[in-house]
Chains A and B, each alone.
Chain A
Amino acid sequence: MKSIVRAFVVVLALTGAVASTHASSSSVQAKVSAAKVSAIPTPWCPPDDPNACGIDQ
């Protein structure tokens, strides 16, 4: 049990570390580089988007 929990935590930390290196390289292209951890859609478009970012779809 102890080993499983520890292995899971290490995997989480390693995944986070790898993702953070990718995030820092991709954030150069993307203007927004993080969003809420939630199923609620992230509003990427500017607030005055003519299509309202497809909110009603």
Chain B
Amino acid sequence: MSAHAFINLLGYLEPIFCAFVLTALIRSESVRKFPSLTLLLSVRLISSVACLALIDLSGRAIEKHLAYKLYFNTYWWSYAIEALLSLAVVYSIFKLAMAPLKGLATLGVLVFQWAAAISIAGSVGMAIGTHFTGLKFLIAVVTQLQQTSSILTLCLLLFVCFAIRPMGLTYKSRIFGVSLGLGLMATVSLIDSAWLGHSPQLFSTINVAKGVTACLTLFLWSAYFALPEPKRRIIVLPTTSPFLRWNQISMALGDDPGFVAVGGIPPEVFAPAEIEIMRRASMKMAEPEHEEMGLVSQSA
């Protein structure tokens, strides 16, 4: 089998695997838990089918120049949507992973939002620097965004892998499975970015590696969603655990502070009952002093 035929085969296998994952997601009733992943896979499925149909029909049912124009637009617009959705998937996975540690989750989400905002701003800024307009500008933004998204994904994968025990997860958890798949795709995407500087062609050898990775990832996800997920373990952490300490500290951060009236308080601001309580309290505070003084005078 030639490399070209193998790439074609992988191209046809990809939407099939994509449909498998979507079916497994729906069957396992995980769509509500992973809405951004479902959307990402749906966009990928639709765009793959449309792109393959355009390649097959070019020069036959559709004139090749028109087919390429349609293919070009379908590919890059779907890539733009997928880049944004992959950021949303990373965000949702992080939130799901951190769900038991509320304090750290709040802090982490805040950091993630800033990192994502800076990534988007950086991507747009770098694309503006290229002086492109129209569709070329969109491509420049999306490619930059995808690179930063890949780096964020790898950071998430490292975090989920090494902090899996304090989060009550196992390597059989879907959260880990999705992170691993995203990490695989992110690594190959970064390798592809390095490769593209040397050989930018429509049909290239790197397509084999990308196709195999995409199919492997989709197969991995379909297995994770088809098999029953083990329940989250009870999280038992030692009292000296830094996760526990940081979680407690993070939970205390951002709480509304209490206020103390120091002076200049007119009596009208208090309710009659409050004034009565304060009067009796001050009388009681004064009583022991009187008694003590009485005792002292008697003994004298």
The residues of B that contact A25 with a CB separation of less than 8 Å are 197
Q: Are B193 and A38 in contact (CB under 8 A)?
A: no
Also in contact, A23 and B161, with CB within 8 A (given A34-B146, A41-B55, A55-B68): no
Of A2, A15, A26, A55, the most chain B CB neighbours within 10 A belong to A55
The residues of A that contact B201 with a CB separation of less than 8 Å are 44
Q: How large is the interface on B (under 10, 10 to 19, 20 to 34, 35 or more residues)?
A: 35 or more
Which label, helix, strand, loop or mixed, suits the secondary structure of the B interface? helix
The residues of B that contact A53 with a CB separation of less than 8 Å are 68, 202
The residues of B that contact A39 with a CB separation of less than 8 Å are 7-8, 10-11, 13-14, 207-208, 210-211, 214-215
Q: How large is the interface on A (under 10, 10 to 19, 20 to 34, 35 or more residues)?
A: 35 or more
Which label, helix, strand, loop or mixed, suits the secondary structure of the A interface? loop
Of B54, B139, B147, B197, the most chain A CB neighbours within 10 A belong to B197
CA distance A27 to B193 in the complex (A): 8
Q: Which of B75, B191, B202 contacts A54 (CB 8 A)?
A: B202
Also in contact, A26 and B171, with CB within 8 A (given A13-B154, A33-B143, A40-B52): no
The residues of A that contact B161 with a CB separation of less than 8 Å are 5-6, 9
Of B44, B73, B192, B211, the most chain A CB neighbours within 10 A belong to B192
Closest A residue to B18 by beta carbon equals A38
Of B146, B190, B192, B208, the most chain A CB neighbours within 10 A belong to B190
The residues of A that contact B147 with a CB separation of less than 8 Å are 20, 23, 33-34
Residue B185, interface by CB 8 Å: yes
Q: Are A43 and B143 in contact (CB under 8 A)?
A: no
Residues facing A in B112-171 (CB within 8 A) are: 130, 135-136, 139-140, 142-144, 146-147, 150-151, 154, 157-158, 161-162, 171
Residue B188, interface by CB 8 Å: yes
The residues of A that contact B32 with a CB separation of less than 8 Å are none
Residues facing B in A8-56 (CB within 8 A) are: 9-10, 12-13, 15-17, 19-20, 22-23, 25-27, 29-45, 47-49, 52-56
Starting from the known contacts A34-B146, A41-B204, A55-B71, 14 additional A-B residue pairs (CB-CB under 8 Å) come to: A19-B191, A27-B143, A30-B200, A32-B196, A32-B200, A33-B193, A36-B82, A38-B214, A39-B13, A47-B69, A49-B68, A52-B68, A54-B202, A55-B64
Q: Which residue numbers of A lie inside 8 Å of B, CB to CB?
A: 1-2, 5-6, 9-10, 12-13, 15-17, 19-20, 22-23, 25-27, 29-45, 47-49, 52-57
Q: Which residue numbers of B lie inside 8 Å of A, CB to CB?
A: 7-8, 10-11, 13-14, 44, 48, 51-52, 54-55, 58-59, 64-65, 67-69, 71-73, 75-76, 79, 82, 130, 135-136, 139-140, 142-144, 146-147, 150-151, 154, 157-158, 161-162, 171, 180, 183-194, 196-198, 200-204, 207-208, 210-211, 213-215, 217
